[in-house]
Amino acid sequence: MNASAFEVKLASWALCGDELSKIRHAVFVQEQGVPLGIELDEKDADPLAVTHVAATSAIGGTIGTARMLLEPAAVRIGRMAVLPGWRGRGVGQKMLEVLCDEAKRRGYFMARLYAQTHAAPFYAKQGFIVFGEEFFDAGIRHIEMRRSP
């Protein structure tokens, strides 16, 4: 079995929420210092408001997650988190691909996200374009980016 192989699938918070929240806690709360009270919200558990993806290693275990809020005019991708040892291996790219494919399947014409500014070049490589000015969220610099799914 290839230790660097992984799979990304749509995920149910009801079934996978514990695993997905562990990834987000490790990346956002522990690594980046985001307060726990603003990292998790009521939207996560609402399948009518949000779609989740889970990235899992071929040898077992969740290694990444992201979510897509289903808003009236566009989807908003966020909470993208990949464990440090898996970064740079295409996990984030694949999660974006799966979410954008799902947005297109649902009839959306616009995907947007709030990228941490250090990650903006990664999103630009995936076709996202900067929109607006930088702002702070949870004490971290962000920039809005958009693309057609």
CA dihedral 16, 48, 42, 117 (to 10 degrees): 80
Q: Which residue has the tokens 């909470």?
A: 79
Q: Give the C-alpha separation, 101 to 126, whole Å.
A: 13
pLDDT in tens, 86-143: 999 999 999 999 999 999 999 999 999 999 999 999 999 999 999 999 999 999 999 9
pLDDT of residue 55: 98
Contacts with 148 (C-beta within 8 Å, 6 or more apart), sequence order: 109, 110, 111, 127
Could you tell me the pTM of the whole model? 0.93
Checking if the pLDDT of 2 tops 70, the result is no
Q: Whole-number mean pLDDT of the chain?
A: 95
What does the pLDDT average to over 22-48?
Answer: 93
Q: Rounded to an integer, what distance in angstroms lies between the CA atom of residue 28 and that of residue 30?
A: 6
